Amino acid sequence: MDDLIADFVAECREMLESLGGEIVAWEAEPHDRARLDSIFRFVHTVKGNCGFFDFPRLEALSHAAEDALADCRADRRKADAKLVSAVLAVIDRIGEMIELIDQGQDIPDGDDGDLIHALEEGAEIIVENTPVFEKSDGDNAPAAVGHAAPRTIRLSVDLLDRVMSGVSDMVLARNELARRLREAPEDVAVAGAFERLSGIIAEMRDSITQTRMQRIENLFVALPRMVRDLSNDLDKQVMIDIDGGDVELDREMIEMIRDPLTHIIRNAVDHGIEAPADRLTAGKREIGMLKVSARQSGNQILIDIVDDGKGIDPKKLVEKALANGVIDRAEMEEMTERQKLNLIFAAGLSTASEVTSVSGRGVGMDVVRSNIERIGGVVEVDSKIGEGTRMTLRVPLTLTIIPALTVSIGDQHFAIPRSAIEEIVRANGSSVTFERVGGAGVATIRGKRVPEIALADVLELPSDLHDEDRTLVVIRPAGGDTYALAVDKIHDHEELVVKPAAPAVMATGLYAGTTLADDGSPILLFDPAGLAEVGGVKLGEVDRNAEEEVDAANDDHVEVLLFRSLGGERRAIRLGLVDRIEEVDVEQFGVSAGQLRVQLGEQILPLAGIDSLSALPKSGKVRVFRLGDGERELGYVFDAVAELAALDYEITPAETQGEVEGVTLIAGKPAELVDVHWLFTNLLRATAGKPQRRPVCCLPKDDVWMQNMLRPIVEAAGYRVVDVGSEEEKIAELVVATENAEWPLPKEPGDATILRLRNSAEGDDESVYRYDRAGLLMVLKSVTAAGGAK
């Protein structure tokens, strides 16, 4: 409603700007019908909208002016100076009310009887244009009921097209500049200026793109009435269900697909959905269902028109095509079921048994396809006899800019919408295997089997690489299943300006549009769903039982993210703990309250991964894992992500508690596993309440074995170790001594637990063999259980 009111205010304000002069000129030339029509059209528009928006005072005023002007148009009254003055006063009052509406205020109750009476023929009243409300002390003004409507201005579509084209060229120029900066020696000042410029261009791009967008609801709003009228004319009962009205499409594109959509719906109601008696005979409900939905997929809008009618019989289409000479017998024998269905788009071909006023003449579907292809779109048909038909319109958003990943086969480059990409993995990694199932390629990635397509095979392009040497891009189309696309090389993530490709290119089903690389060379943008279809990807072709067995066998595998730390260490972190990865300016890092911290948006989080700020680069951006436990968050600095992997081997625990939990083999090489629990325990201790006091263990500092072999075990068990002779030995709960140690020990036996260690495996029960790890841990745990951590 707010948007509608804003449009109403904008339209009224635009017309008011030109009406003042029109009225005066009309007074000088009362026979000028064009000026009279302009004034009448304004008050008529205001009156009509007021009834919808419930502005009764404004409606009454505009209604009175409309009646007076209607008399003039019908030559029942002559315009004179008094009528012109009265009309001017009414329009001034309307302008004041429009301003109140624009400010989000209610129009106050009041009496406009003097203005209405002045419009009457022969009225002698003197018009005084008093304000809509009086401001005596500032308290009588109506209170605002909401935010002021956004100010609007009308622009020609051609101007918006030129601006959008200019922004698109700016994006391409920015991409080329980015490439040249990567190739040139690094200059911090230039890089900073480029980052600011890039941000400005991105904001401008988003704003300009929105100026041409309109909700597709404006296209769907007339469909229920059309279906109702068609149903009545054909003695049918049809219910329409509309979904996706909030999807936005270019305003001009909406007008271009209005007629094709109308053709399809008329055909569906006419000879797609059966008569009520025929539906009952077929075991269906009397009421037919027609579903129209819209959704966005990458750079395309998909509009589905689905009916539950009798469907399209491919055999009848073939018979009609043979009879009309569209195809011959040889072509018929080689046609697939889909090709037979596509005969519905052949000119002069129709399966309707009789010609009606709605359809059946063989014109319409061929026009639909040609009109959609003219704007770079595609029409697809799928039908099952007795169940219904689905028509899908794939149309481009318009000239637009989307994030995409550039890939290549040999020297040919292509782009994939970033929104459809799940992950990127190396085909020769230890977590990836290939096999053939029923002649189709299947890739097993960390135990999960997905269909695999070699892009070189689909496009029939030469490539020197085998499957195991390529890179896999795991893709999930909108509403589809995941599959792996094998490509030779991965290039940059870039924002690309996408335009509709030629109809012949779009008809292949592989592409969603065309674009230009930063060096000006053309690149085709893949349609992820179309690529899967052309590549023959069907999840049913994968052995589902085998897939379930593999998944079941790997249920206990934990996915980790393999990365390189700022210090160069090869580390891994459990994937489930990583909320997201962010690139943060070095200026956002600092030390406060005695702790390293990073500012991420409006949050300041504790920071791990480095010991001091000196480990950070002097300028630029640094990558940060945003780790979360569901309630709290912290940041972890790293250098680069390697790949996703699984924990297939046992973890060798670290001797001491700390940032590293242990070490394991990942992809055939050792990697340190980050102990996120320890990070949260230590970095967020201040927010978790007062920490418990750790029990204290006293060890002789001159015993090499105890300091280097025993101490890590004691600390791993939760103790804080102090040295014999230190001031803190008085508070020790546990004292460790050798088998032959003589008193006085640091503590008397009654004040602390004494753990005696012997060098031999044989001995009495009062001491523990120093390499009896289980016995040592049992004593350590018994002390804390007895209250050592009070």
| Whole-number pLDDT of residue 637 | 93
Per-residue DSSP letters for 28-88?
A: H-TT-HHHHHHHHHHHHHHHHHHHHHT-HHHHHHHHHHHHHHHHHHTTSS---HHHHHHHH
Quote the CA–CA distance of 13 and 18 in Å, as a whole number: 9
- Report angle CA 621, 624, 629 to the nearest 5 degrees: 160
Lowest mean pLDDT among 47-51, 425-429, 440-444, 561-565: 47-51
- Report angle CA 198, 200, 203 to the nearest 5 degrees: 110
Quote the CA–CA distance of 284 and 642 in Å, as a whole number: 56
For residue 785, give both structure tokens: 């259980």
- Helix and strand element counts for the chain (H, E): 23, 35
| Whole-number pLDDT of residue 743 | 54
Q: Which of 603, 600, 597 is nearest to 585 (CA)?
A: 600
Quote the CA–CA distance of 361 and 364 in Å, as a whole number: 8
CA atoms within 13 A on the CB side of 270: 20
Is 779 a residue whose pLDDT tops 60? yes
Which ranges of 512-611 does DSSP label H, i.e. alpha helix?
528-534, 544-553
What's the whole-number mean pLDDT along residues 719-733?
83
Is 626 a residue whose pLDDT tops 70? yes
Is 544 a residue whose pLDDT tops 60? no
For residue 265, give both structure tokens: 């719906």
**Beta strand extents in 366-410 (DSSP E only):** 378-384, 388-396, 400-409
Average pLDDT of the chain? 77
Is 134 a residue whose pLDDT tops 60? no
pLDDT band of 142, cuts 50, 70, 90: very low
Residues 6 or more apart whose CB falls under 8 angstroms from that of 378 comprise 372, 393, 394, 506, 507, 509
DSSP code at position 610: -
Taking only the tens place, the pLDDT of each residue in 488-528 is: 888 877 777 777 677 778 778 788 778 777 666 788 888 88
Residue indicated by tokens 């700390």: 658
Taking only the tens place, the pLDDT of each residue in 36-68 is: 888 888 777 777 777 667 777 888 888 888 888
Is 682 a residue whose pLDDT tops 70? yes
Query: For residues 133 and 141, is the Cβ–Cβ distance under 8 A?
Result: yes
Is 361 a residue whose pLDDT tops 50? no
Name the residue with higher pLDDT: 731 or 565.
565
Amino acid at 558: V
Query: For residues 582 and 576, is the Cβ–Cβ distance under 8 A?
Result: no
Taking only the tens place, the pLDDT of each residue in 459-490 is: 888 877 776 677 888 887 754 578 888 888 88
Is 29 a residue whose pLDDT tops 80? no
Residue indicated by tokens 């804390």: 784
Residue indicated by tokens 């007076």: 68
- What is the maximal distance between C-alpha atoms in the chain? 129
What's the whole-number mean pLDDT along residues 169-174?
80
**Beta strand extents in 281-325 (DSSP E only):** 288-297, 300-307
Amino acid at 559: E
**Cα dihedral angle (6, 12, 15, 16), rounded to 10 degrees?**
-120
| Whole-number pLDDT of residue 636 | 92
Sheet holding 768-769, edge to edge: 720-723, 696-699, 734-738, 753-758, 768-769
Amino acid at 197: L
The pTM score is 0.41
pLDDT above 70 covers a percentage of the chain that reads 81
- For residues 703-725, one letter each, b for 16 or more C-beta atoms within 10 angstroms of the residue's C-beta and e for the rest, the string is beebeeebbeebbbbbbebbebe
What's the whole-number mean pLDDT along residues 749-769?
78
| Whole-number pLDDT of residue 341 | 84
Lowest mean pLDDT among 224-228, 610-614, 629-633, 744-748: 744-748
Query: For residues 406 and 491, is the Cβ–Cβ distance under 8 A?
Result: yes
| Whole-number pLDDT of residue 539 | 42
